[in-house]
């Protein structure tokens, strides 16, 4: 059971950004994707989620054997893909509690209603875990939230929706160290043999708190190197430039 | 249409269809009285004879007909679509001649079934203090809870109001909205039938809402109800009206006049959920008079109709009076919601508030027209106007025409307007959480109107949210 990306080619408005990317995230594992700006990290996350601006020109993405690319955005989500956004959108007038509730309700069989009491109990427990004030249940989704509050809110939704595969797109960007720790603890608490993680990050910092099983380096739209968690440390010390050169010389 | 909508399962589709078409059914016509097609002085006499109008009412109607005939269509500022109303093809009065019944058991089966399908008797039992149910030109049912009658509350139709309570209603009848206010108020004054006449005595606070439901069952027909509500000093009332009609091949006309009078310290809240079918021209004049420290609130939701033109107003005639218009309009393809508010400050320290939210879907068009008038000789007047428009598709349309006339420098006014769109990023975000495109859209739209929906009573706000969802379900993509 895995999220498998095979020889993926994808881009936006006629420009190819991901150029033959292959990757397998089995359930139970945490994979980190690191890479410099413009290497295709965010494109990968958008393509997995199904953003319509991104066009897939080759390759495949499968979720536990099913062709993900055939599904609409919401169908992929209900199939178990969760994307924690780098820049989550505001949803004015829709309270956080109602939003998450609607998302859960969308996963229920026809005619079944979500148990509201159990839902709030779970919601409050998760908010406590993330150190979120109760007032965030009534506030409009992400509206007026600080950067850190938005990221916590992403993790809250991730916890509540219980996805099979979590893609975190630069969740660490713009977070202070305390918020980073809270987010990392949230992710760690969700690690399970039943769930896979793909953590996209520019910096090694987040990986101090979330220990990855595998680290991949993305450059020029493909994975140029894979290794264990020590690869992240190496990148931290030496920067990305040497990899680019290495990649160019081997290409 | 998007994938998400196309893939709705059959159950959902049929559930949606039943609800969206909730009002789209009709029973065979069996009218005992029919004024025929077209409008002449003879039509007026026919209506007067059937209704047993007093001479002064008959004269009032005939004068109004002349005013109506003398006034041009307001197409110099309003939509040209008005020219498509053919006054010669409309039937102006249809009824079975029976007086409104006091119990549902006495109401003829087809009419009773109509209102049962619309949920009116059920609502009456659940939360209403009184109901009037109008079927074409006349009320089929009218009843008010006994304790209210004992307190002296009068809740009757216009005929009964003018005939049996002339002393109470005549002094205000046609005073808040004169016959010549506009072409359609003149038309209503000529052929009015049905509607509610309500009097709430001094100091009586009616706890539960009174409701009127207006139903058009017949084709090529015009419904012209006339409502006059008087709250005596310190009295309070919430009144709600709903309306539906089946979808006919030809255009149907609904042209009401609603006058409210709130005497010193009185409060009137008038709530409308308009869900006419998409062939109805809904041209309604509504205005309230607020005396010293009185309050008139219009809470108005327009979802249906082909063209709605409605600008509820408040004339704040007494010191410290307050006027408010809260409105939601949803214009889908083939619809034009031309709505707004009129706030006329005519005394010191009067306050008005207008909050309008419109949603344009597909090729739907919404227009806001606002008028705020504060003359120079007054002091301490305040107005707040907010109008926000949401465009769902690139071919949706919205226009705003605010006219704020404030003279003198002892007043405070503020005006805010915005136009926004449901952004693709917002939709993507919501869909990534598992919501279908249609569900995401309706959640976004409900979010847009959320703060206003809360102003509606619980029973209506649930219905309202549902209606908005249903409108959105079929219109994305």
Distances (CA, A) of A35 to A32, A147, A219, B114, B446: 10, 22, 6, 67, 40
CB-nearest partner of B435 from A52, A74, A92: A74
Q: Distance from B451 to chain A by nearest Cα, in Å?
A: 7
Whether A60 and A101 map to the same domain: the answer is: no
What are the strands, taking DSSP E only, across B127-173?
130-135, 138-144, 154-157
Please report whether residue A86 resides in a domain.
Answer: no
Q: Distance from A175 to chain B by nearest Cα, in Å?
A: 21
Across A132-136, A240-244, B129-133, B452-456, which has the greatest mean pLDDT?
Answer: A132-136
User: What gap in Å lies between CA A230 and CA A217, rounded to an integer?
Assistant: 12
User: What gap in Å lies between CA A174 and CA A57, rounded to an integer?
Assistant: 33
DSSP SS3 for B381? coil
DSSP string, A152-183: HHHHHHHHHH--SEEEEESTTTT--HHHHHHH
When pLDDT is averaged across residues B16-22 and rounded to a whole number, the result is 44
Predicted confidence at residue B7, as pLDDT, reads 34
Cβ atoms of B275 and B304 closer than 8 Å: yes
Predicted confidence at residue B201, as pLDDT, reads 98
Residue of B nearest to A104 (CA): B434
Q: Compute how many other C-beta atoms are within 10 angstroms of the C-beta atom of residue B8.
A: 17
Tens of pLDDT, residue by residue over B128-180, are 888 888 888 888 888 888 889 999 999 999 999 999 999 999 999 999 999 99
DSSP SS3 for B442? helix
Chain B residues close to A106, C-beta within 8 Å: 433-436, 439
Q: Which range has the worst mean pLDDT, B25-29, B134-138, B233-237? A: B25-29
Domain that holds residue A134: 94-162
A107/B contact by beta carbon, under 8 A: yes
Chain A residues close to B12, C-beta within 8 Å: 110
Whether A33 and A59 map to the same domain: the answer is: yes
Q: Which range has the worst mean pLDDT, A86-100, A235-249, B298-312, B459-473? A: A235-249
Whether A16 and A68 map to the same domain: the answer is: yes
When pLDDT is averaged across residues A224-234 and rounded to a whole number, the result is 89
B363 vs B229, residue with greater confidence: B229
CB-nearest partner of A103 from B426, B428, B434: B434
Q: Residue A27: give its domain's CATH number.
A: 3.40.50.300
Cβ–Cβ below 8 Å for B434 and A72: no
Cβ–Cβ below 8 Å for A73 and B423: no
Please report whether residue A248 resides in a domain.
Answer: no
A88/B contact by beta carbon, under 8 A: yes
Q: Which residues pair with A132 in a beta bridge?
A: none
> What is the total count of domains within chain A?
2
Chain A residues close to B443, C-beta within 8 Å: 91, 94, 98-99, 102
User: What gap in Å lies between CA B48 and CA B154, rounded to an integer?
Assistant: 23
Chain A residues close to B419, C-beta within 8 Å: none
Please report whether residue A135 resides in a domain.
Answer: yes
Q: Which two tokens stand for residue B327?
A: 């409105």
Cβ atoms of B234 and B200 closer than 8 Å: no
To probe the interface with A, which of B433, B442, B462 has the most A CB atoms within 10 Å? B433
Cβ–Cβ below 8 Å for A106 and B439: yes
When pLDDT is averaged across residues B391-413 and rounded to a whole number, the result is 87
Please report whether residue A203 resides in a domain.
Answer: yes
Predicted confidence at residue A242, as pLDDT, reads 64
Nearest to residue B243, comparing CAs of B284, B202, B206, B294?
Answer: B284
Say yes or no to pLDDT of B1 above 90. Answer: no
Say yes or no to pLDDT of B9 above 60. Answer: no
B22 vs B342, residue with greater confidence: B342
Strands B351-360, B382-391: parallel, antiparallel or unpaired by DSSP? parallel
Predicted confidence at residue B383, as pLDDT, reads 96
DSSP SS3 for A66? strand
Predicted confidence at residue A243, as pLDDT, reads 63
Chain B residues close to A50, C-beta within 8 Å: 432
Cβ–Cβ below 8 Å for B447 and A106: no
When pLDDT is averaged across residues B397-423 and rounded to a whole number, the result is 88
Please report whether residue A188 resides in a domain.
Answer: no
Helical ranges in B30-78 per DSSP H: 41-51, 55-70
Cβ–Cβ below 8 Å for A74 and B443: no
Q: Which residues contact B18 (CB under 8 A, 6 or more apart)?
A: none
Tens of pLDDT, residue by residue over B174-232, are 999 999 999 999 999 999 999 999 999 999 999 989 999 888 888 889 999 999 999 99
Q: Distance from B464 to chain A by nearest Cα, in Å?
A: 16
Whether A8 and A72 map to the same domain: the answer is: yes
Cβ atoms of B39 and B87 closer than 8 Å: yes
Predicted confidence at residue B6, as pLDDT, reads 33
pLDDT confidence bin for A246, thresholds 50/70/90: low
Residue of B nearest to A162 (CA): B433
Predicted confidence at residue A210, as pLDDT, reads 94
Across A2-6, A110-114, B423-427, which has the greatest mean pLDDT?
Answer: A2-6
Whether A6 and A63 map to the same domain: the answer is: yes
Whether A1 and A59 map to the same domain: the answer is: yes
Cβ–Cβ below 8 Å for A103 and B444: no
How many residue pairs from chains A and B have C-beta atoms closer than 8 A? 83
Chain B residues close to A107, C-beta within 8 Å: 434
To probe the interface with B, which of A102, A110, A142, A145 has the most B CB atoms within 10 Å? A102
Cβ atoms of B335 and B369 closer than 8 Å: no
Whether A73 and A124 map to the same domain: the answer is: no
**Which ipTM score applies to this complex?**
0.95
User: What gap in Å lies between CA B357 and CA B326, rounded to an integer?
Assistant: 8
Please report whether residue A85 resides in a domain.
Answer: no
Cβ atoms of A245 and A220 closer than 8 Å: no
| Tokens 């016959």 -> residue | B179
Please report whether residue A235 resides in a domain.
Answer: yes
User: What gap in Å lies between CA B228 and CA B188, rounded to an integer?
Assistant: 13
Please report whether residue A183 resides in a domain.
Answer: no
DSSP string, B157-169: EHHHHHHH-HHHH
To probe the interface with A, which of B3, B434, B446, B468 has the most A CB atoms within 10 Å? B434
Predicted confidence at residue B2, as pLDDT, reads 37
User: What gap in Å lies between CA A57 and CA A18, rounded to an integer?
Assistant: 10
Residues 123-162 of chain A whose Cβ lies under 8 A from any Cβ of chain B? 140, 157, 161
Whether A7 and A63 map to the same domain: the answer is: yes
Whether A74 and A98 map to the same domain: the answer is: no
A66/B contact by beta carbon, under 8 A: no
Cβ–Cβ below 8 Å for A161 and B440: no
């Amino acid at each position: 059971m895995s999220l498998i990306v095979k020889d993926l080619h994808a881009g936006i408005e006629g420009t190819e950004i991901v150029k033959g990317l292959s990757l397998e995230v089995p359930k139970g594992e945490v994979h980190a994707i690191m890479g410099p700006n413009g290497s295709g990290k965010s494109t990968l996350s958008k393509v997995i989620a199904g953003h319509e601006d991104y066009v897939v020109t080759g390759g495949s993405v499968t979720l536990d054997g099913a062709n993900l690319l055939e599904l609409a955005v919401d169908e992929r989500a209900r199939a178990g893909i969760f994307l924690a956004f780098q820049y989550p959108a505001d949803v004015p007038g829709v309270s956080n509690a109602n939003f998450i509730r609607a998302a859960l309700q969308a996963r229920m069989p026809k005619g079944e209603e979500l148990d509201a009491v159990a839902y709030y109990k779970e919601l409050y427990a998760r908010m406590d875990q993330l150190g979120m004030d109760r007032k965030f249940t009534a506030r409009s989704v992400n509206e007026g939230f600080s950067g850190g509050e938005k990221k916590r809110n992403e993790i809250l939704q991730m916890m509540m929706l219980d996805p099979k595969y979590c893609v975190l797109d630069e969740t660490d960007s713009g977070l202070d160290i305390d918020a980073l720790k809270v987010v990392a603890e949230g992710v760690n608490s969700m690690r399970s043999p039943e769930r896979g993680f793909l953590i996209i990050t520019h910096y090694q910092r987040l990986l101090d708190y979330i220990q990855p099983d595998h680290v991949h380096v993305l450059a020029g739209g493909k994975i140029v190197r894979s290794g264990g968690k020590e690869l992240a440390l190496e990148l931290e010390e030496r920067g990305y430039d040497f990899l680019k050169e290495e990649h160019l010389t081997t290409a | 249409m998007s994938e998400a909508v196309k893939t709705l399962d059959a159950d959902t589709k049929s559930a949606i269809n039943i609800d969206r078409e909730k009002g789209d059914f009709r029973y065979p016509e069996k009218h005992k009285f029919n004024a025929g097609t077209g409008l002449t002085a003879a039509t007026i006499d026919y209506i007067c004879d059937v209704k047993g109008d007093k001479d002064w009412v008959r004269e009032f109607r005939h004068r109004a007909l002349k005013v109506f005939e003398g006034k041009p269509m307001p197409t110099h500022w309003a939509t040209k679509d008005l020219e498509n109303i053919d006054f010669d093809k409309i039937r102006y009065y249809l009824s079975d001649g029976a007086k409104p019944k006091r119990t549902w058991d006495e109401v003829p089966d087809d009419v009773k079934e109509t209102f049962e399908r619309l949920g009116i008797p059920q609502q009456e039992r659940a939360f209403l203090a009184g109901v009037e149910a109008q079927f074409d030109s006349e009320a089929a049912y009218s009843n008010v809870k006994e304790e209210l009658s004992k307190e002296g509350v009068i809740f009757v139709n216009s005929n009964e109001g003018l005939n049996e309570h002339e002393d109470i209603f005549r002094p205000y009848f046609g005073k808040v909205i004169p016959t010549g206010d506009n072409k359609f108020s003149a038309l209503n004054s000529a052929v009015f039938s049905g509607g509610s006449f309500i009097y709430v005595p001094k100091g009586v606070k009616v706890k539960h809402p009174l409701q009127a439901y207006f139903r058009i069952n017949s084709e090529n027909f015009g419904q012209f109800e006339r409502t006059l509500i008087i709250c005596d000093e310190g009295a309070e009332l919430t009144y709600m009206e709903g309306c539906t009609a089946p979808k006919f091949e030809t255009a149907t006309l609904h042209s009401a006049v609603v006058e409210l009078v709130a005497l010193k310290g009185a409060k009137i809240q008038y709530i409308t959920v308009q869900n006419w079918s998409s062939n109805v021209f809904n041209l309604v004049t509504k205005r309230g008079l607020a005396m010293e420290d009185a309050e008139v609130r219009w809470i108005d939701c327009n979802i249906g109709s082909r063209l709605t033109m409605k600008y509820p107003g408040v004339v704040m005639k007494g010191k410290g009076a307050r006027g408010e218009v809260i409105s939601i309009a949803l214009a889908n393809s083939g619809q034009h919601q031309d709505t707004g508010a009129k706030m006329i400050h005519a005394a010191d320290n009067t306050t008005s508030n207008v909050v309008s939210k419109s949603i344009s879907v597909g090729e739907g068009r919404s227009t806001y027209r606002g008028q705020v008038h504060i003359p120079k000789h007054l002091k301490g007047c305040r107005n707040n106007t907010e109008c926000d428009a949401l465009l769902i598709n690139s071919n949706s349309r919205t226009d705003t025409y605010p006219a704020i006339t404030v003279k003198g420098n002892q007043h405070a006014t503020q005006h805010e307007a915005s136009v926004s769109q449901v952004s693709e990023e917002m939709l993507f975000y919501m869909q990534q959480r598992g919501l279908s495109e249609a569900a995401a859209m309706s959640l976004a739209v409900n979010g847009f109107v959320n703060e206003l929906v809360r102003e509606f009573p619980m029973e209506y706000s649930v219905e309202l949210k549902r209606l908005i969802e249903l409108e959105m379900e079929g219109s994305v993509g």
